[in-house]
Amino acid sequence: MTHEQLPEGWEWVRLGDVLQPHPHTIDIEDDQEYIQVTVKMHHKGVVVREKQLGINIGTKRQNRLHANQFIISKIDARNGAIGIVPDSLEGAVATFDFPTFDVTNKIDVGFLDYYSSTKTFIEQCKNVSIGTTNRSRVRMELFPEILIPLPPIDEQRRIAEVLRDADANIVDIEDAIAAAEQIRKGFLERFICELEQVPPTRLNKALIRIKREVEIDLKQLYYQIGIRSHGKGIFHKEPFTGQELGNKRIYWVEPGDFVLNIVFAWEGAVALVSENERGMCGSHRFPTFEFNTDICLPEFLLFYFKTPTGVRQLEDVSPGGAGRNKTLNQGDFLKLKISLPDLEVQQEIVVSLQTHTDAILTMQAEAASLREVKRGLMQGLLSGQIRI
């Protein structure tokens, strides 16, 4: 935004004209308990770092904080470690690496909080920081010289109110998602308890290992799959030519296959191949299996291996240390014993779990849409393109 682009009634002001430095120095007493705070990066808030007796605090002179003060991290302001001290942290303490400022009556605290979260403001913090990447600090003599666009105080308050309402809508849907996830978790726990009453079946009765080796054409493009951990599904890798594959063997996957990543199976990297993966392939790290649908529904088994019990079994057959040394033993995998109720019961479980999952996905999409709306509001309101 240039000076010429400021809306009518707005003005450019120095931070130093709307903020007043207000260090409140105290001496830490050994027998007193203190709440120490930190400022999270990416404008994630001013939060408790630790609560402890003064005798355990090394730096004996600290800054006492007050509600509604503006606070920054000298080191990480360039990464958005900026915020407003909440009422709950009145009287907490921080080192002088976290300078505080009183907010004058020229600027609304809420407006300041939202504007200081913008990329524009954070870029300005970078511009007044010096030092190497990991040791860069805000130059406090330059920080007050940062210019910000300021609407009239009544408009500032209206802007902050609109954005607070947008945030409240997002919090409401996030709370609803959390509640739905707890309900789904409770259903899963009951589902696991009920399965314990069903006689176990070896997995090799339900899954049949299948290999469909690709006959490589050096000029052909091949599209490979990957699998995200924690049951997050399949993703598509960049294509390779047959020549780029060299001597590597790859194998076709087919819709309906059960597939896992042998390196991260212990972390829940399992999936079902969908129509979206038709004509794609995977390396030896992604073995595929067909189902014996007389005793096992594909969706049931996928849900099972997303449960804590299922993931624990995958970990049990993945010996070795963490990460890439913790590889699934495919022979032991097929020897696992799982409880497979009648197909009708499996179907009921799948439908119920899918209903819960679909509801959560719908709310997550709604939350993403609300965040996008808020981003648009922030861009418009904080630049004056939208006037209220």
Distance CA 18, CA 112 (A): 10
16 and 86 in a single domain? The answer is yes
> What domain range is 331 assigned to?
199-340
Q: Is residue 207 domain-resident?
A: yes
User: In sequence order, what are the beta bridge partners of 72?
Assistant: 82
**Do 142 and 128 form a contact (C-beta atoms < 8 A)?**
yes
**Do 228 and 306 form a contact (C-beta atoms < 8 A)?**
no
Distance CA 326, CA 324 (A): 5
Q: Is residue 230 domain-resident?
A: yes
Final residue belonging to a domain, choices 110, 134, 150: 150
Q: Is residue 16 domain-resident?
A: yes
The pLDDT score that the predictor gives to residue 5 is: 77
Q: Is residue 283 domain-resident?
A: yes
8 and 130 in a single domain? The answer is yes
Distance CA 160, CA 79 (A): 23
**Do 57 and 28 form a contact (C-beta atoms < 8 A)?**
yes
218 and 299 in a single domain? The answer is yes
Which DSSP helix (H) or strand (E) runs through 270? strand 270-272
Q: Is residue 332 domain-resident?
A: yes
234 and 139 in a single domain? The answer is no
| CA distances, 368 to each of 44, 173, 263, 364, 365 (Å) | 18, 10, 31, 6, 5
**Do 71 and 46 form a contact (C-beta atoms < 8 A)?**
yes
What counts of helices (H) and strands (E) characterise the chain? 9, 25
From 147, 81, 89, 82, select the one nearest 113 (Cα to Cα): 82
The pLDDT score that the predictor gives to residue 194 is: 84
Q: Which pLDDT tens digits describe the chain residue by residue (388 residues)?
A: 545 578 999 999 999 999 999 989 999 999 999 999 999 999 999 999 999 999 999 999 999 999 999 999 999 999 999 999 999 999 999 999 999 999 999 999 999 999 999 999 999 999 999 987 667 899 999 999 999 999 999 999 999 999 999 999 999 999 999 999 999 888 888 888 888 889 999 999 999 999 999 999 998 999 999 999 999 999 999 999 999 988 899 999 999 999 999 999 999 999 999 999 999 999 999 999 999 999 999 999 999 998 888 999 999 999 987 656 789 999 999 999 999 999 999 999 999 999 999 999 999 999 999 999 999 999 999 999 999 9
DSSP string, 275-287: GGGTT-EE-TTS-
The HSE-up count of residue 173 (CA atoms within 13 Å, CB side) is 18
DSSP 219: T
Q: Is residue 250 domain-resident?
A: yes
The pLDDT score that the predictor gives to residue 1 is: 52
The pLDDT score that the predictor gives to residue 134 is: 66
129 and 232 in a single domain? The answer is no
Q: Is residue 25 domain-resident?
A: yes
Distance CA 77, CA 83 (A): 10
CATH number at residue 35: 3.90.220.20
- CB-based contacts of 387: which residues, under 8 Å, 6+ apart? 7, 155
132 and 260 in a single domain? The answer is no
The pLDDT score that the predictor gives to residue 73 is: 96
231 and 309 in a single domain? The answer is yes
The pLDDT score that the predictor gives to residue 105 is: 96
Structural domain tally of the chain?
A: 2
Distance CA 31, CA 243 (A): 71
325 and 245 in a single domain? The answer is yes
**Do 269 and 313 form a contact (C-beta atoms < 8 A)?**
no
Q: Is residue 297 domain-resident?
A: yes
